[in-house]
Structure 1
Amino acid sequence: MELKKNPQVDLSRDSGLYFVIGLTIVLFAVWRMLEHKTYSTAEEFVTIMQVMDDIDEEVPVTHMQTNFTPPPPPAAPDVISIVEDMEEVEETLIESTESSQDIYVNDAVVAVDEVEVVEEEEEITVPFAVIEEVPIFPGCEGLADNEARKACFNQKIQEHIKNNFKYPSTALELGIQGKVYVQFEINSKGKVAHINKRGPDKLLEDEAVRIIAMLPNMTPGNQRGRPATVRYGVPINFVMQ
């Protein structure tokens, strides 16, 4: 005997519908979970002000200060002496020093003989090449001829430069060399003054000035019978060997 299934009780008949309904429910639940938002709740604080009914205030104890009675003034002396404060003051008369139109001033008359005329000598500066009488360097006093004194002067200047020449050490280290032109004056007192220099470096110029400043005092030169300032120039050559 063959068994037959009742179509009313067949469970697989609506399985597709149930699957779709279940899938829809699951998708809806997932969508709601994704769209769900949470908010942090702010805690409310309640401030309570406590007021005390009984306030006990401590009042500071004060003391009343009594008035201090000053001591009585000293008693007056029995005998009061009266001193006269009026003194005689001598008045000093101050005469005015201002002049007015009413005052006549006598003219001062000076005689011509009382005026002393002083002739001021003008300092003359003459180049060494044209001076009438050249300055006399120490050691050249015995020469009477002016040309001989010039030659002796030039020779003594060269000897002085050689004896006092000292090459600056810094210039040697830096390799500085060259010629320094020095011009100076021998004034009417026979002293060296107004030294001017021109060279390739300050180190060489300073050494040249030092050498010329060491020149001794000389007998001043004469021009027209009067002591004159003589201008002299000399080159100093700094060469490393």
Structure 2
Amino acid sequence: MKPFCVFLFVLMLTSCEYFNVKKTSSEAILKEELQTFNWNDVDEYPSFSECDSLSIKEDKKGCFESVLTLHIWDFLKKEKLIVSQDIRDTMLLQFQVTKEGDLHLIGVKMDSITSQEIPNMNNLLHQSLDSLPKIFPAIKRAQQVTTEFKLPVIINVN
């Protein structure tokens, strides 16, 4: 009987741990919720005012990219580019749209022939972005967020 009482006493001492309620801080809850977000996707992509009439998310994204591409293309078309050889290149432009709606050109990947023939291409691209219409930033969970994206631009100069 004595061993049974000792066993029961030890069981009672250790079982009290199972009834303790662990408190979770608000920081821990926030940290756990932030880990569940898909940060690579946003609820609404950056947009121009002419894309506001579209309601489907992918259509708005396509509209934004086409307006931006058309704006860059129109600017470069007005420039008198003189080259010694034909250029057919697809430049990959990396952009960032801040949560305030500012567009920044982060990087440009282009063929070495393009950079050799048009050494001021980076400056021309930056100038083309100066006259863009107002950009509305991307939205994630009802908050304006900074986003980055890549945009291919085809250059064809004869």
Give TM class, smaller chain: 0.5 to 0.7
1:206–1:139 CA distance, 2 compared to 1 (3 A): same
Offset of residue 191 of structure 1: 1.2
The answer to whether structure 1 residue 149 and structure 2 residue 60 are counterparts is: yes
| TM-score, normalised via structure 2 length | 0.59
Q: Quick one: structure 1 residues 235 and 197, their matched pair in 2 at CA, closer, same or farther if it must change by over 3 Å?
A: same
Match of 1:187 among 82, 85, 98: 98
The structure with more strand, counted as a fraction of residues: 2
Kept after mapping to 2: 8 A contact 1:132/1:224:
yes
Q: 2:120 aligns with which of 196, 203, 211?
A: 203
Q: How does 1:3-18 map to 2 (within 5 A)?
A: none
Report the CA distance between 1:203 and its aligned residue: 2.6
Provide the secondary structure at the position in 1 that maps to 2:43.
Answer: coil
Partner of 2:28: none
Identity across the alignment (%): 19
- State the secondary structure of the residue aligned to 1:158: helix
**Structure 2, gaps ≥5 residues long:** 1-38
Deviates more, 1:207-216 or 1:135-144: 207-216
For the 8 Å contact 1:168–1:204, the answer to whether it is kept is: no
**RMSD over equivalenced CA pairs, Å:** 3.0
Q: TM-score, normalised by structure 1?
A: 0.41
1:226 aligns with 2:143: yes
Indicate whether 1:140 and 2:57 are aligned.
no
Matching of residues 25-40 of structure 1 within 5 Å = none
Structure-1 residue corresponding to 2:35: none
Shift of 1:185: 0.7
- List 4+ stretches of structure 1 deviating above 6 A: none
Unmatched segments (≥5 aa) in structure 1: 1-125
How many residues are aligned here? 116
- Partner AA of 1:196 in structure 2: G
The structural deviation recorded for 1:209 is 3.0
The alpha-carbon distance between structure 1 residues 139 and 167, as it changes in their structure 2 partners (threshold 3 A), is: closer
Q: Which protein has the bigger helix share?
A: 2
Matching of residue 174 in structure 1 with residue 95 in structure 2: no
The SS at the match of 1:211 is helix
In structure 2, the residue corresponding to 1:172 is in which secondary structure?
Answer: coil
Provide closer, same or farther for how the CA distance between residues 180 and 148 of structure 1 changes in structure 2, counting only shifts above 3 A: closer
In the superposition, relative to structure 1, how do residues 153 and 195 fare at CA in structure 2: closer, same or farther (>3 Å)? same
CA distance in 2, matches of 1:208, 1:194: 8
Give the Cα separation in 1 of the matches to 2:109 and 2:131: 18
1:165 aligned partner: 76
- 1:155 is displaced (CA, Å) by 2.2
The structure with higher relative contact order (CA 8 Å, sep 6+) is 2
Secondary structure of the equivalent of 1:139?
helix
Q: Which digits, 9 at most, give the CA deviation of each residue in 1:88-110, with x for residues without a partner? A: xxxxxxxxxxxxxxxxxxxxxxx
The one-letter code matched in structure 2 to 1:232 is F
